[in-house]
Amino acid sequence: MDIKAAIRTIPDYPKPGIMFRDITTLLGNARAFRTVVDRLVQPYAGVRIDKVAGIEARGFILGGAVAHQLSVGFVPVRKKGKLPWRTMAQDYALEYGTDTMEVHEDAMATGENVLLVDDLIATGGTAVAALQLIGKLGARAVGASFVIDLPELGGADHLRAMGLNVEALCAFEGH
């Protein structure tokens, strides 16, 4: 199964010069979706995973499916103000300014092993913020899995430099 072929590319979205990698076509293809979930789970066969954390929003879809396959709980990592209970927050840098990610303060327990999942790794800002939240709650990130890597932006390499196991199922050149 060619995962890249199942992903639609939309030129100049959300701004000129950006090639947006749209996984909705992959999600709508049952075979491609199943293949992606299986490949995201496979590297962690035999590894103790207690929770899967998925980054808003496409990471919810993928992370939920991965958590189901691993028979573990799912933790949503959301933008500030979206979670209804007490939260732990982490700021992260954007191209122009900052944003904030949050998790519920009881989403993970000390000593739990957590797998981080999202659709795409670019600069790594949101992934680093999510990993910092995992650490703040006393849990341990055992890896980060993505469908797409944009290697020119360096996010996956940044996570690897932090000592994290990083998996990406395909890569696209450019932004």
Catalytic residue, from 39, 48, 56, 95: name it.
95
Is 152 designated active site? no
Residue 72 near residue 47 (C-beta atoms within 8 A) = no
Identify whether 8 is a catalytic site residue.
Answer: no
* Residue tagged active-site, from 21, 58, 78, 167: 58
CB 32 within 8 A of CB 17: no
162: left (phi over 0), alpha (psi -120 to 50) or beta: alpha
66 sits in which H/E element: helix 58-70
Contact indicator for 25, 7 with CB cutoff of 8 Å: yes
Distances (CA, A) of 43 to 77, 134, 160: 22, 20, 16
Encoded amino acid at 19, one letter: M
Helix (H, G, I), strand (E, B) or coil at 85: coil
The residues assigned a catalytic role are 58, 95
